[in-house]
A = this chain, B = another copy of it.
Amino acid sequence: MQSPTPAGRTGRPRSAAADAAILAATREALVELGWSKLTLGDVATRAGVAKTTLYRRWAGKNELVVDAVAELFDELELPDRGSLANDIEGVVLQFAAILDRPEAKSGLMAAVAESTRDEALRERIRASIVDRQKRLVVAGRSRAQCRGELPAEPDPEEAARTVDLIFDMVAGAVVHRTLMSGKPANEEWVRDFTRVLLQGLGSEPPEPTTP
């Protein structure tokens, strides 16, 4: 997960408990201090380990925070809710709930910002966060094709392009809504979003919000 996993097999093994404590302390520090004021010395103190232990496992702040934030996305699931629209609404609400947590907001965006100048960090984010989310898109799309809700795309290259497009549209909209617009991606918004995604902008709303 972190630094070049120790090659040798003999000797005292690394403490797994220390790993968990460090990542939890990192998230705690992210909540209280945010990215810029988070220091590795402070994280070490919170975790009850020495600062040098941190540097033995992670190359720096970037890698540590990515690993700490990645764990937040472990709970993402895609239960079968009967229709494509329901599947989308369900997973988007899950994603929005994770993004609403302060440690996810500041940590993820800061890491992405740093990754624009660090190829290895970008790959780390892709492998531990982005690809995990994209798998949900692949699964949901294939499920919808079996239901006949989406057209089949025999060309694998074109199918991959479509998956990428849907992924960027879904995740991008939620992230932008949450971070840039600063408004909640609640049920009402998710309903509207899903309708536009599935039927396009030309469609008219089913009901003018009369609860």
Contacts and interface: CB of A to CB of B under 8 A. Distances in A.
Interface of A: 34-36, 102, 105-110, 112-117, 122, 125-126, 130, 149-151, 155, 158, 161-162, 164-169, 171-177, 179-183, 189, 192-193, 196-205, 208-209
A189 to B, nearest CB: 7
B173 A169 contact: yes
Nearest to A37: B117
B175 A176 contact: yes
A interface secondary structure, majority: helix
Contact of A173 (B35, B168, B181): B168
Contact of A117 (B102, B150, B161, B166): B102
Given A165-B189, A168-B173, A196-B169, A201 B150 contact: yes
Given A166-B201, A172-B176, 11 more contacts: A34-B116, A35-B113, A109-B109, A109-B113, A130-B180, A158-B205, A164-B183, A166-B196, A172-B180, A176-B176, A199-B202
Nearest to A106: B116
